[in-house]
Amino acid sequence: MSFAYQSLLDRVHAEVAARPVRGKVADYIPALARIDASRFGMALALVDGRSFVAGDATEPFSIQSMSKLFTLVMAQRLYGDELWQRVGREPSGTAFNSLVQLEHEDGFPRNPFINAGALAVTNALVSRYAQPERAILDFMAGLSGRKKIFIDEEVARSEEQHGDRNRAIAYFLKAHNRFENDVAEVTRTYFRQCAIPLTCQELAQAALFLANNGCALDGTRILSPAQTRQTLAVMLTCGLYDGVGDFVFRVGLPAKSGVGGGIIAILPGVGSLCVWSPPLDARGNSAKAIEALELIAGELAVVPGVL
């Protein structure tokens, strides 16, 4: 007898949607500040090809730092183990846009999901692609099943206009000889990769290969089994910044968040789950998405063979 995934999503969505709103929508990027705080969607894609949605799962939203997961995968495909000479794989324990550790650690980013590490990864892509932005869009289009992916120009302009701290991080990396490309080119690519709008349904589909030992459903290998395991490990330990310890304690799944309010979580061998709710907690992670994932993980854990 198959597990009633749709019923689970519907029940969790109804319960969490009824709870009071906690946190606030990201406002340091003005284009994101106007997002309706009541939006709430969930999508689950399974390795057997089935998919389930609830709420605003087909409403596009700005993926923001969720893009770091996909650029990391692209860089792993290009560089293999050499990538880890550019960026570490340790939890940071500090805010995602902190400069403090770079000062003490010779400009070596702790992991690819803090902004310093993500900029190092984007720099690596700029070194290999003549048109890195197009390469990122094409890669994500292929994974998500969406024929054409675009960049929200309003969000991108907003990112650019309020991106001085990220430029400072990039210049710090360059000052420590960890950046071989022009800072303006790399930061522009980074700002624009964060400004891609996708839906929960598309993001769950895009990340599904991580639940399937590195293979897309059509059999295309995206990452090797070893690289898949490494990616899931970094997600588990670093995917929610300085809030990752509490998240792992409550939810226990590899995940990656973004200040647009989305979180991708992976159920290895089962599927991928994307939850979106714009209001963020003090650490920049979606408060209701975490609540929903905690409930879902708690129910799935009692099903034999699921977790």
Which of 257, 254, 273 lies closest to 114, judged by CA?
257
Which of 295, 302, 305, 276 lies closest to 32, judged by CA?
276
159 is in an annotated binding site: yes
Which of 230, 242, 252 lies closest to 79, judged by CA?
230
Which of the following is catalytic: 62, 65, 98, 286? 65
Question: Is 24 labeled as catalytic in the residue annotation?
Answer: no
Q: How many CA atoms lie within 13 A of 300 on its CB side?
A: 26
Strand 271-276 and strand 197-198: pairing? unpaired
Question: Is 259 labeled as catalytic in the residue annotation?
Answer: yes
SS3 of residue 139 by DSSP: helix
Which of the following is catalytic: 87, 155, 259, 270? 259
97 is in an annotated binding site: no
171 is in an annotated binding site: no
Distance in angstroms (rounded) separating the CA atoms of residues 35 and 25: 7
Eight-state DSSP code of residue 20:
P
Question: Is 28 labeled as catalytic in the residue annotation?
Answer: no
Which of the following is catalytic: 53, 241, 251, 256? 241
Which of 47, 58, 74 lies closest to 267, judged by CA?
47
259 is in an annotated binding site: yes
Query: E strands along 158-261, which residues?
Result: 197-198, 255-257
Token readout for 63 is: 């993926």
Query: How far is CA 174 from each of CA 123, 162, 211, 221, rounded to the nearest angstrom?
Result: 10, 20, 35, 34
Which of the following is catalytic: 5, 25, 62, 68? 68
Distance in angstroms (rounded) separating the CA atoms of residues 232 and 55: 27
28 is in an annotated binding site: no
Question: Is 155 labeled as catalytic in the residue annotation?
Answer: no
166 is in an annotated binding site: yes
Question: Is 174 labeled as catalytic in the residue annotation?
Answer: no
Which of the following is catalytic: 62, 67, 73, 190? 190
Asked if residue 273 lies in contact with residue 42, where contact means CB atoms within 8 angstroms, the answer is: yes
Distance in angstroms (rounded) separating the CA atoms of residues 26 and 209: 29
Q: Which parts are annotated binding residues for substrate?
A: 65, 115, 159, 166, 190, 241, 259
Q: Which parts are annotated binding residues?
A: 65, 115, 159, 166, 190, 241, 259
- State the catalytic residues: 65, 68, 190, 241, 259
